Amino acid sequence: MTRDKRTRDGEAFVKTCLVVDDSRVVRKVARRLLEDRDFAVAEAADGMEGLAWCRAMMPDLVLLEASMPLMSGLEFLRRLRLEPGGRAPKVIFCSTEANLDRIREALDAGAAEYIIKPFDGDIVADKLALAGVA
Amino acid sequence: MTPEDHAFMAGVCAERAGLAIDPAKAYLIESRLGPVARREGFGSIAELVEVVRSRPDERLTTACVEAMAPSETRFFRDRAVFEHLWREVVPDLARRRPDGVVRIWSAGCAAGQEIYSLAMLQAESPAPGKVELFASDLSERLLDRARLGVYTSFEVQRGLAARQLVRHFENRDEHFQVAKRVRQDVRWRRVNLLDDLAPMGAFDVVLCRYVLGGLTPAARASVSAKLAGVVAADGVLVLGEDETVAADGFAALADVGGVFRRKGGARAAA
């Protein structure tokens, strides 16, 4: 994730996103969709790696899988908020978990939005707008 | 299907419902009629079309026309329009009405996402007075879907905030169903917009969004006039963002696209 990177139109990226997901395929898809929307994207395969990224450079947005080995999405979010500057990023959960009680739990913990997998570009665009990071 | 079949079905759709179907879009016609042919037990779409062509079968013809009607919609489509309606238009109309009742009609509601969007707003921040919500569509099958209020995860994620999902929906197997308390706020009816709409009565807000663009020019003019005729004096007609009302006596609101207020006076004739 570098702030001097250019978009396909040659414009400077103005927003940064960290994708925290243990699936390489999901990270790749999310990166493509977010870069299409002018985000500079970094990837982390688990919560610990994600927190290390945030300590190095706090992103504007975190796209976060709820269910990961080592550290759950909820635990990542709790720890993120304790980091210096960690209250600033908008966090959008992104998970196959579609139980409304679990979704409510994520929102109550401070998630700005929630994406149910599988998703497409339209859904990502709508959720970014609803989270106020479009 | 032959090109003649495509042209025949396009003609039937134009005559029955004013639908502008391009006969050259064979894939569209066949993808819509395929499920009807299977459901009705035909071996092919061509067989279905042959029966529609050769003998008067009102039910079958209606099923074909309904299948061809556009069904694309989403929750809070053009969210700014809904926010404006709920913050400005509906409270203003409620204050103007002696009984405080605001009647809203979603014409061409498809699977019901727009009228449910308003029902959710009503549940979240009730408008002053009383809001009555009506919705109609040409397709009985779509109306059945709308009444049931069951949507896929893709449908509930387009335009709908997660907070609204958890507040107004329930898990239903792999899908999501609008909660009964929201569903029961809406009244549904099958309406062909080419028919006389006067018996519907007057409405304070009529939404007919992204419907006119799918009609033939003649049907567009006719439906536009009929809809204008059921908008109450000082009421509002809401079209798609880039659509305009063909009838006289309406002024576009400057701050949101596709919203037109009737300029005082009595209702226009349908």
Same domain for B247 and B214: yes
Q: So what's the pLDDT on residue B264?
A: 67
Q: So what's the pLDDT on residue A13?
A: 60
Same domain for B188 and B100: yes
Which CATH number characterizes residue B103's domain?
3.40.50.150
The β-bridge relationship of strands B150-151 and B169-172 is: unpaired
Same domain for B120 and B234: yes
The partner residues of B259 in beta bridges, in order of sequence, read B238
Same domain for B127 and B246: yes
Of the partner residues A103, A122, A129, the one whose CB lies closest to the CB of residue B162: A103
Among chain B residues, CA nearest to A93: B162
Nearest CA to B129 out of B208, B206, B205 is that of B205
Residue B73 inside a domain? The answer is no
Nearest CA to A115 out of A129, A134, A90, A97 is that of A97
Total domains in the fold of chain B? 2
A15-131 to CATH, choices 1.10.260.40, 3.30.70.3290, 1.10.3720.10, 3.40.50.2300 = 3.40.50.2300
Q: Which of B68, B101, B119 is the last residue before a domain boundary?
A: B68
CA A48 distance to own-chain centroid: 14
Other CB atoms within a 10 A radius of the CB of residue B242 amount to 9
State the nearest Cα–Cα gap between B174 and chain A, in angstroms: 8
Nearest CA to A106 out of A60, A71, A68, A75 is that of A75
Same domain for B210 and B104: yes
Q: Mind listing the pLDDT tens digit of every residue in chain B (270 residues)?
A: 899 999 999 999 999 999 999 988 889 999 999 999 999 999 999 999 999 999 888 999 999 999 998 888 999 999 999 999 999 999 999 999 999 999 999 999 999 999 999 999 999 999 888 999 999 999 999 999 999 999 999 999 999 999 999 999 999 999 999 999 999 999 999 999 999 999 999 999 999 999 999 999 999 999 999 999 999 999 999 999 989 887 788 999 877 889 999 986 444 333
- For helices A121-131 and A24-36, what crossing angle results, to 10°? 70
Q: So what's the pLDDT on residue B204?
A: 97
Q: So what's the pLDDT on residue B210?
A: 94
A99 and B161 within 8 Å at the Cβ level: the answer is no
State the nearest Cα–Cα gap between A103 and chain B, in angstroms: 7
* Interface probe, candidates B157, B160, B174, chain A, greatest A C-beta count within 10 A: B157
Residue B141 inside a domain? The answer is yes
Residue B254 inside a domain? The answer is yes
List the structure tokens of A35. Answer: 């870069």
**N- to C-terminal Cα distance for chain A?**
18
Residue B240 inside a domain? The answer is yes
Same domain for B153 and B43: no
Of the partner residues B157, B170, B176, the one whose CB lies closest to the CB of residue A123: B157
List the structure tokens of B215. Answer: 């009609």
Same domain for B123 and B63: no
List the structure tokens of B201. Answer: 């009565």
Residue A8 has pLDDT above 80, yes or no: no
Domain span at B19: 3-68
A126 and B159 within 8 Å at the Cβ level: the answer is yes
Domain ranges of chain A: 15-131
Instruction: Quote the CA–CA distance of A94 and A119 in Å, as a whole number.
Output: 9
The β-bridge relationship of strands B250-252 and B259-262 is: antiparallel
Q: Does B161 touch chain A (CB under 8 A)?
A: yes
**Band (A66; pLDDT cuts 50, 70, 90):** very high
Task: Identify all chain A residues contacting B153, using CB atoms and an 8 Å cutoff.
Answer: 98, 116
B171 and A114 within 8 Å at the Cβ level: the answer is no
Same domain for B15 and B96: no
Instruction: Quote the CA–CA distance of B168 and B106 in Å, as a whole number.
Output: 19
**Band (A2; pLDDT cuts 50, 70, 90):** very low
Instruction: Quote the CA–CA distance of A1 and B119 in Å, as a whole number.
Output: 43
Same domain for B249 and B210: yes
Q: So what's the pLDDT on residue B1?
A: 87
Same domain for B94 and B25: no
Residue B122 inside a domain? The answer is yes
Q: So what's the pLDDT on residue B270?
A: 36
Assess: ipTM above 0.95: no
Same domain for B115 and B57: no
- Give the tens place of pLDDT for each residue, A9-51: 666 668 999 999 999 999 999 999 999 999 999 999 999 999 9
CA B3 distance to own-chain centroid: 30
Instruction: Quote the CA–CA distance of B62 and B107 in Å, as a whole number.
Output: 18
Instruction: Quote the CA–CA distance of B260 and B256 in Å, as a whole number.
Output: 9
Q: Which of B40, B68, B96 is the last residue before a domain boundary?
A: B68
